[in-house]
Amino acid sequence: MKVEIYHSPRCPDCIRAKPILERVLAQYNLEFEYVNVIENRDRAKEAGILRVPTVVIDGKIALVEHFSETELRKEIESRGAKFIS
């Protein structure tokens, strides 16, 4: 499973989401990549990113802006990830 987190370093929602994302993704032993939309405008445009933070799982937008830890868990479990710790 490929998880990409599109963010902006100036975005307060991105800053608040970071510890949640890192904690939850670690509990499923998932590798993830942060993609700075300012430095990677073409990549963000190609992915259809309009707002940040946006979580993309296996090339599909899964969560945008204000999402909870529960929503993140549901999204990754619906794609077959198993809780490990």
Q: Is the pTM of this model over 0.85?
A: yes
Asked whether residue 37 is domain-assigned, the answer is yes
Tens of pLDDT, residues 31-78? 999 999 999 999 999 999 999 999 999 999 999 999 999 999 999 999
Structure tokens belonging to residue 26: 């670690």
Give the span between the Cα atoms of 3 and 75, in whole angstroms. Answer: 11
Residue 85 has a pLDDT of 75
Q: What total number of domains does the chain contain? A: 1
User: Is 83 domain-assigned?
Assistant: no
- If pLDDT is split at 50, 70 and 90, which confidence band does 8 have? very high
**3-7 vs 54-57, strand pairing mode:** antiparallel
Residue 9 belongs to a domain: yes
Output the pLDDT for position 10: 94
DSSP string, 21-52: HHHHHHHTT--EEEEETTTTHHHHHHHT--SS
Domain assignment of residue 65, given as a range = 3-78
